[in-house]
Every structure is written in structure tokens, then in C-alpha cells.
Structure 1
């Protein structure tokens, strides 16, 4: 199952109801089959990586996109996925590409094996550096922080909004979020145990700390290991339906056996 789109807008990327139904049915069947073979709720410390484990992966670019979607797909994504599928013996997968809010292409991938996040990031950063995306990120960050730590206003605004939504939901339901910044999670726990109200100042401090932590980590890595990957159990994303509805603009979808190049 394949469809493609370039930034020219020739194809608007909307999946037809019938196509979406077919993909959903195949994903649900696949995930149901995997769930019979593995315990999916929690990943034990002694988990055998050779066993099936449906994993949801998102891959992004750390700097402004300066190549066509097709070039990035062929030079970076397919190279990355070919190595990944061989190394981890991936038998089944589903991937799609769409756009971030900043206009950059990104890739969403569901595979049948668990991969450690550090190893995944290292391989993806290696792949996108073929086109210089890590180097451009490093130059940008060195310039941005040339006088020391500086706050990224756009990121701060986005994090503040995100954290506030989590706090609002917590205040309404009283339930701890499943996915949350560690510092914010501790604040929510303290708020619940001591009946402390979480203020905008609390949220601001956490949002600033997020950037401060990223700054020190970036300095430690010489800005050569940008955060370009996210990995989770597929169960955190309401299975296939949530995956298909992540974004309206879908550049490419493919379901089957991993590609082999060369």
C-alpha cells in the first residue's frame, strides 16, 4: 500500500475512508496477533529483545529541512530502516510520513521489536547526518548559546501550554498522567499528597528547567546527539486508530516486509 506526496501539493495526503479502514483492519489484526505472543503492558528488565513487541517510533529532523521529501526518504529513512530491520530481525512493520508544524518531514513507524531509545537515536542521527542535518543543528545551537544558556521563547511557550493542559486534566480527574515530564509528575504527586495548588510559576520553573537540562546535555555531547526520536509501546497510542489520525497530511504509507536496498 503506497502513496506519495511532495511539498508541491500534487497529492493532498488525505487517506480515503476505505483505505483507512483497510489499514486499520490490518494493523488491528497484526497487533492482536502480537499480543498473544508477548506481555505488552510492561517491559520487564529481563525482556528478550528477540521476542515480538509492538513499538511506536517517531523520527524527526533537528534542523530546517533543505532537501526534498524524496531525497530524505531515500538517503536517510530507507538506509536507516534497512540497517534497523537487519540488526533487529524486524519481520513486520507499518510506516507513514507527514509534516511537523514547522514544515519538516517526519516519519512514524510501527515495528514488531523493542529497540533501546539510545541506540535508535544514534542510528537515526547517523542516517540524517549523511545530508548534514546534525551538523547544521550543532551550528545553530552553538550560535544560539554563544553567550551562555538562553531561553528558546517558542519552545517555552509550547511547553507551558502542554504542561498546563496536563495540570488542568489532573485537576479535573485527579488521575496521574501516563506520559509526563518527570519534574511535573513529581509536582503532581506532591500536589495530591499535600493538597498543594500548582501555580503558573511552578509550571514556568519546570519549563525553564527542561531547557536548562537540554542545554547541559547538549554541551556534554557537543551538540552532536540531538533529540530526534521518540519511542513508546504502541499501546500508549490507542493502537492503530490513533496512529492513523495523528495528522491529516500523510505523505507515504507502507505496510509489509522491510525494504532491502542495493
Structure 2
């Protein structure tokens, strides 16, 4: 790829540009006039961009989700992306329905997921989050969520169970499980184990049965917090986990109605830094030196229209590069500017509303609190 400006016969310039993210620097070209205005390659009217398979995330959407995850983790603590440290500052959880889904995906998102996010933002001062909706094999909706605060697993379960019981999902679970004898429960759980169950498996099932009876089957295991302690590249793991495809399951069962994923405003504004050679050729010169240094490694990827160096920007800084890392650091300071006051104002505005919601719920549905 040519890293020098190219003057075309039509009076435009093919100008080298750099797109800088927490994990890579990518060079590509854009058309520019002599006044510094970008032009499109094709001046015709583009057809509307539509996802032909509604209800499923597109490849473009998967890439956007993975980028959002990388930016999210970097904004919480750069070490999470660079070295895998700092993982205790985030929560990666899954929310499920403990009984058969009888409401539409949209209704569950509007009445349950929305309230859950509102409550944890107010109670734990969560600023950044990303959620992804998926279907399990039987068509049950569940959510994967990244939060920029650590939240205790028991507290998450208590909040989620209370909220979904507005739609009677905990109560339906209670009715089903309360009708089972110990032997019925044991046989049901043993079927979930692949292969011959160990003594440890049997003890775990017995313990779960006793806990369920003690709670009158009103506190189902509807939430799960992923243990990231042994995960090396957390960003890659979480990004792929949230955008994975399920194989061997009927496609119609995996279709999600409505929005498939979403991020908080503080995350959605995190876009790659754009550096244009027309502003300062030092950008391109430094990038060219980076490529030269890493050309014999597997960190350089070249295609017809782009040249990418897949090295974390902080690592490039430690290698002695200044211009691009410093521009990126300044850009991040502006992106990650503190918004504590906004969080406080948000908390004050919704805490009273949350109390009213909880107090107005039928007493029967508060058994799981």
C-alpha cells in the first residue's frame, strides 16, 4: 500500500489516513480535495443498508460489537486489554429466564432488562455497559452484559429475580419445582450431566436441592457471573463470547425480535481516532517505521486497500514511539472525561422512581427479595 499522497487527474488527492484503536493502527486512503474536504469514492446514491436476516446479528454488527467491547475494557482500565490485569473492575454476567418464556422479546427487554439496568446504574453508579440478547436452544431469551463495576453475584440474582417476577417467571418456576420430589429433581439434574456423574456432581445436586427447598423455590439460579480469572486475553474472549454463533441449533429458534445489542452512550461515542497525513506527515512517517520494525512478525496484515499493525497502542508507546501514542492518549482523555456528576444526577432522579416500582409490586411477587 502506498503511504504517500497521490495526486489524481480529476484534481483530487488520494490521502493516506490512520485509524487508531486501543489494539491496532490501520492505514488506508481517502479522497480529498485541495481544500481538505473528504470526498466519496462513488458520488451515486447508495442503496439503503439493511440486514437481510432480521433477528440475527450481521457480520458488520459483530465487528462493531467486538470494537465496542475493546473500547469498553480499555476505558475501564487499559491493563485489561494490554496485560489481562484489572479484571476485578468489571462484571461479565448472564441473565436468563427460570421458566418457559411466554412474553415477547420486546416486552422482556422493555419491562425487565431496562429496569435492571436502571437499578444497577443508580445503586452501583454504573456508567458504562454493553448488553447482547441471544436465544438458547429452546428459544429462551437471555442476555450477556458487561458492566464497569464489580457487583456481587447474590445481589445481581436478587435484583433480577424480583424484576422478572413482575411477569411471573419466578413464581412459575416455584410451582414447577415445588411439585418435584427429591428423586424427580435428582433425575432431572443428572440428565444434564454428560457422561457418568461423579460423587462431586451428586453432592452438588443434593446441596442445590436443599437450597431450593430452603428458599421455597423462589430464588432460582437465573444469573451467572463469568469467572475471568484464568482468561488471558479478556478483550478477545468477551468480544467473541458476546458475538458468537450457535451451531447445530435450528436457526428459527435463535431469532431475536428487536434490538440485538446495545451500549451506554459513554461507550457508543468511543470511535477510532482518525489521523490524516494532510494534517501532519509525521503520523505516516512514524507508522511506516512501525511497519518496518514489525514486518517480520505476524502483527502486520495487508490487504488491497489497507495496512494494519495489530499491536496495542500502549505497547508502541513503550517501544519509544511518541506522535501517534500521544495523540491517542489526548483523544482518550477527552473520551473518558469524568462524568461522575451526571451519574449522581441520574441516581437522584431514578432512586425514588425505583422505590415506587418496588413498593407497588404485589406482595406475592416480592417473596424472592
Task: Give the TM-score category using the shorter length.
Answer: 0.5 to 0.7
User: Equivalent residue for 2:218?
Assistant: 224
Task: Give the structure, 1 or 2, with the largest relative contact order (CA under 8 Å, sep 6 or more).
Answer: 1
TM-score by length of 2: 0.49
Structure 1, residues 123-150: CA drift from partner, whole Å, max 9, x if none?
00000110111111111011112xx443
Q: How does 1:90-239 map to 2 (within 5 A)?
A: 90-145=126-181, 148-159=182-193, 161=194, 200=196, 203-232=197-226, 236=231, 238-239=237-238
Q: Is the 8 A contact 2:116 2:160 kept in 1?
A: yes
**What residue ranges of structure 2 are gaps of 5+ in the alignment?**
1-51, 248-253, 267-345, 354-369
Cα pair distance change 1:66/1:244, threshold 3 Å: same
Cα distance in 1 for partners of 2:54, 2:187 equals 32
**What residue ranges of structure 1 are gaps of 5+ in the alignment?**
1-9, 44-52, 165-199
Aligned pair partner of 2:262 in 240, 251, 254: 254
Aligned pair count reads 202
Name which one, 1 or 2, has greater alpha-carbon Rg: 2
Q: CA deviation at 1:111?
A: 1.0
Q: CA deviation at 1:12?
A: 4.6
Q: Is the 8 A contact 2:77 2:86 kept in 1?
A: no
Q: CA deviation at 1:93?
A: 0.9
User: Equivalent residue for 1:66?
Assistant: 102
User: Equivalent residue for 1:244?
Assistant: 243
Q: Is the 8 A contact 1:55 1:233 kept in 2?
A: no
Q: Is the 8 A contact 1:54 1:233 kept in 2?
A: no
Q: CA deviation at 1:209?
A: 2.4
Cα pair distance change 1:157/1:14, threshold 3 Å: same
Cα distance in 1 for partners of 2:255, 2:69 equals 17
TM-score by length of 1: 0.67
Q: How does 1:31-70 map to 2 (within 5 A)?
A: 31-36=73-78, 40=85, 43=88, 53-70=89-106
Secondary structure at 2:217's aligned position in 1? coil
